[in-house]
Structure 1
């Protein structure tokens, strides 16, 4: 039913018992539009994500770990100053609209008790998160500051008076009386008088009326369901939607998935989309560097191949040099060109030879011999340069693939690698010390095979090398897509079944550039047969004695195996 007012109503039935009467422990702003609050209650930490992302605005409890920016954004610093250590005593939805107010008790710099309100507005591209004082009604700060010329409805800047966004004059369906129902709903087809209802929710209510009759009793029964939500995800024709209650006509959907909570439902639904957005925010400079390097290297390889072809066809220069030497008496100073019999040709046909008028005849023949020798000598060098450029291109295509499958927490490892390789400048702290974060199994994506064995996936070169050369045992099995950038995958068993080989190979194909291909060739071999050549770039390995299997990655099957 989308993230509408009725969904928020249901979500608050889960969030309020978890957070009301808690203390704000920490506040983070890991990304431009997202806040993470850590609340302490009953000796436990609860994390709440609030997002004002134009496309993925929402809130939900989360267990996800976020890597925060080195320098906190201004709004995060303001929230820490005013809210850390404060007491959350109330959470309230404004009517049935997409606005949720969090009420905090804190103390100001003078030690006086103060009530602050954090207002989360989930309104698409107009979404915002605003902190204001309840006593003065003045905005302290907000996650999106809007210039007056961009919003004439209200002023969204610090120190301005807080005003609600323009709301329609509609009725809250959860508070509707019998008289109001009879006056505005009973004879209405579009339900336009009710607030907070998306098109999908209205459709469900009409289906409810069609099946049970359009009465006030059935109206209240329909909305009573939202007080005891059952988190539901619906899949139809490859499209996924969600709702706080099961749909009425379940036969209209290809698949119905239930979740333990609405927060878990939202986390699952938005995770990939939001991760993609967060990765873009964090990796824009790396993405630009990678694309520029790939473009430059492809152009360089084309130029080198052209030079190589020219060198390999250099015999023409030797022949012309020899013909000029043989017929030197026919060459007159200052001639721009000459035609001479080519005795290397069976028909002894004439060959046109361009000359440099400023050179003597003998110097012209020497120029052709010199050009020939230079080209012949360059063949080995040019081939070496082509190999180096291709290796560099493979490396950056691997980085491009790493960025595609990266989570926000993976980006810093990719940045660190590029700094160490000299492609990105090191900041002063990194020049003074190599402050490496030690990798652990927590950084690795995990799956479970049908036999209960772990399948581990590295999503960047640091993780790949740690996984292959530190974590994996020598007799366990290593998987990688053949001749295509992709992840190192370890199947943690020394005696894999055919089914496990198939599963691990599908995961390797899924985490590669061939993810959407139908027939993907995957090599697999014991870890002890995988080596890294001296001086090779991060992530590059060679292996021998491998077997191969052709697979088709199946995302739904792979998702079910994830731990």
Structure 2
């Protein structure tokens, strides 16, 4: 279910009583599409997330801890100037459309009271947050300024007069009278009636159609609309395992109930957590991801080129044979020849064609082939070393990519610091390595109550394995695939403990979405770090292996931080 008109109506039934008359105390913009407004009311803080993310624009109260950027963007500075310390008088939805207006009262520099409106428009890629003056309707600033050539319907720039976007007319299901309903019901079929009701997305229309096909009456219609006055959080899955959020229980869509929560905001927070994390991590890690992708491409090309050189070197006998044959038949070779055909005594005197440099004597041509042969043979060891270095670097950057994919937004700084310390990124400021503690790790509690610690990046992996973990605890890692180091804090684990920890290790690896993942496990004392190895790289012996398929909900259910 998208943030359609009725969904927004249901959210506001819960949000308005909580925030209205509250004071806006803090404003910050953690990422390009997202604003956090912190309201203070009844000695309690409430974090309101406003997001104009093109894929999933939304708003709700969140309990997620999101870092405040060091430097505030321009729009946030404007909001702080005009709105910080102001009182939220009311929140109103425009009809049943995807526009929500937050009405604030504040005082300007002269002490005069001013009324300002923060308008949230949730319209896919056209979503925006607009601050304008209620008295004259002029826009003060916008989160996303729009070039006039890109939007001819209205002008979206500071100082322009605010105008509503083109809206789709339709029936307001909350104010439709029984008499009007009955008149329409006589004229059109249930599906056509559902099409006329405004504020519904595709799933809602199908569900309403199902209600009306079961009982085409005003009571049935009001029962459906009543769901949006007392919202709860329900997450369903369709046949393709795609998750959908509803504020009511749909009966006609053939969906499987996956999760539910009476607190609609907590349910939304949990539902969008993984998606918003991926989005926020990608935004914050854009520079790192570009570096990783570029290095992976360069290293992959380098390995291909080196393997060709190695193949050529390992198959260089042809040069030695040609040199020997030339030496054996020097009397038949004349200076100035570009090629010659001679008997190959290695293949029953079958003729072999040998290319020659006309500027060299026959003996010098033979020596040239011997030199080429010797140079290629001597290069084998060097090329093999270069291939190993390139492959090790590929594994390292794969581990960085995996760390980003498993990261929370606040973990990106540690990954960036690691790349700066390794010389892959440059920083004007000297990096001060942040202290790693158990609290900075991912922590899980198994069914038996035993603790599992999981590193979030290579520095944490090294610290966890070689400084934190007891040498008799058990270390887990996916076999031959980048992933986190996992420590089962127990000296005598059961088979069930091992199976559950292996699933956690598989989930926090590049094989997260794979089935039948091989996970190695061994006591910590058998894990070693080679001299000069990159962060996170280890070797180990005496390991056992177990096969597992990571299930996201099973893993995250065990998480305790």
Give TM-score scaled by structure 1 length.
Answer: 0.91
CA distance in 2, matches of 1:212, 1:351: 91
CA distance in 1, matches of 2:258, 2:325: 83
Establish whether residue 561 from structure 1 lines up as the match of residue 554 from structure 2: no
Which residue matches 1:33?
A: 33
CA distance in 2, matches of 1:154, 1:420: 49
CA contact (8 A) 1:98 1:122 kept: yes
What is the DSSP-based 3-state SS (H/G/I as helix, E as strand, rest coil) of the residue aligned with 1:191?
helix
Which residue matches 1:172?
A: 172
Which residue matches 1:482?
A: 479
Which residue matches 1:139?
A: 139
Which residue matches 2:300?
A: 298
Which residue matches 1:465?
A: 462
User: Can you give the 5+ residue segments of structure 1 that lack an aligned partner in the other structure?
Assistant: none
CA distance in 1, matches of 2:439, 2:212: 50
1:247 pairs with one of 240, 246, 250:
250
Which residue matches 1:191?
A: 194
Larger mean Cα displacement after TM superposition, 319-328 or 27-36: 319-328
Following superposition, the deviation at residue 6 of structure 1 comes to: 1.9
Establish whether residue 400 from structure 1 lines up as the match of residue 401 from structure 2: yes
CA distance in 1, matches of 2:42, 2:468: 38
Which residue matches 2:290?
A: 288
Are residues 486 and 183 of structure 1, via their aligned partners in 2, closer, same or farther at CA, if it must alter by over 3 Å?
A: same
Which residue matches 1:98?
A: 98
Which residue matches 1:328?
A: 330
CA contact (8 A) 2:195 2:205 kept: no
Following superposition, the deviation at residue 523 of structure 1 comes to: 0.2
Within 5 Å, give how 1:106-185 maps onto structure 2.
106-184=106-184
Larger mean Cα displacement after TM superposition, 379-388 or 486-495: 486-495
Are residues 467 and 87 of structure 1, via their aligned partners in 2, closer, same or farther at CA, if it must alter by over 3 Å?
A: farther
Following superposition, the deviation at residue 218 of structure 1 comes to: 4.7
Establish whether residue 264 from structure 1 lines up as the match of residue 277 from structure 2: no
Following superposition, the deviation at residue 132 of structure 1 comes to: 1.0
Are residues 56 and 328 of structure 1, via their aligned partners in 2, closer, same or farther at CA, if it must alter by over 3 Å?
A: same
Following superposition, the deviation at residue 212 of structure 1 comes to: 5.7
* Coordinate RMSD, CA, aligned: 2.5
Following superposition, the deviation at residue 503 of structure 1 comes to: 1.4
CA contact (8 A) 2:185 2:216 kept: no
CA distance in 1, matches of 2:476, 2:117: 53
Following superposition, the deviation at residue 502 of structure 1 comes to: 0.9
Are residues 77 and 340 of structure 1, via their aligned partners in 2, closer, same or farther at CA, if it must alter by over 3 Å?
A: same
CA distance in 2, matches of 1:494, 1:13: 53
CA distance in 2, matches of 1:313, 1:54: 56
Establish whether residue 423 from structure 1 lines up as the match of residue 398 from structure 2: no
CA contact (8 A) 1:339 1:353 kept: yes
Larger mean Cα displacement after TM superposition, 380-389 or 452-461: 452-461
Aligned residues: 556
Which residue matches 2:373?
A: 372
1:275 pairs with one of 274, 277, 302:
277
User: Can you give the 5+ residue segments of structure 2 that lack an aligned partner in the other structure?
Assistant: none
What is the DSSP-based 3-state SS (H/G/I as helix, E as strand, rest coil) of the residue aligned with 1:166?
coil
CA distance in 2, matches of 1:357, 1:211: 95
Following superposition, the deviation at residue 221 of structure 1 comes to: 4.2
Give TM-score scaled by structure 2 length.
Answer: 0.91
What is the DSSP-based 3-state SS (H/G/I as helix, E as strand, rest coil) of the residue aligned with 1:53?
coil
Which residue matches 1:499?
A: 496
What is the DSSP-based 3-state SS (H/G/I as helix, E as strand, rest coil) of the residue aligned with 2:434?
coil
What is the DSSP-based 3-state SS (H/G/I as helix, E as strand, rest coil) of the residue aligned with 1:288?
helix
Within 5 Å, give how 1:381-396 maps onto structure 2.
381-396=382-397
CA distance in 2, matches of 1:84, 1:186: 53
CA distance in 2, matches of 1:130, 1:371: 71
What is the DSSP-based 3-state SS (H/G/I as helix, E as strand, rest coil) of the residue aligned with 1:195?
coil
CA contact (8 A) 1:186 1:214 kept: no
What is the DSSP-based 3-state SS (H/G/I as helix, E as strand, rest coil) of the residue aligned with 2:24?
strand
What is the DSSP-based 3-state SS (H/G/I as helix, E as strand, rest coil) of the residue aligned with 2:285?
helix
What is the DSSP-based 3-state SS (H/G/I as helix, E as strand, rest coil) of the residue aligned with 1:534?
coil
Deviations 1:280-301 (A, max 9, x none): 3333333333222222222211
Following superposition, the deviation at residue 166 of structure 1 comes to: 2.4
Which residue matches 1:521?
A: 518
CA distance in 2, matches of 1:320, 1:147: 70
CA distance in 1, matches of 2:187, 2:440: 57
CA contact (8 A) 2:417 2:431 kept: no
Within 5 Å, give how 1:537-552 maps onto structure 2.
537-552=534-549
CA distance in 2, matches of 1:45, 1:534: 50
Which residue matches 1:203?
A: 206
CA contact (8 A) 1:236 1:255 kept: no
Following superposition, the deviation at residue 501 of structure 1 comes to: 0.9
Deviations 1:219-278 (A, max 9, x none): 44443333222221222311322221222459x333352113222222232233333333
Deviations 1:31-65 (A, max 9, x none): 21111112222333221111111220111111212
What is the DSSP-based 3-state SS (H/G/I as helix, E as strand, rest coil) of the residue aligned with 2:417?
helix
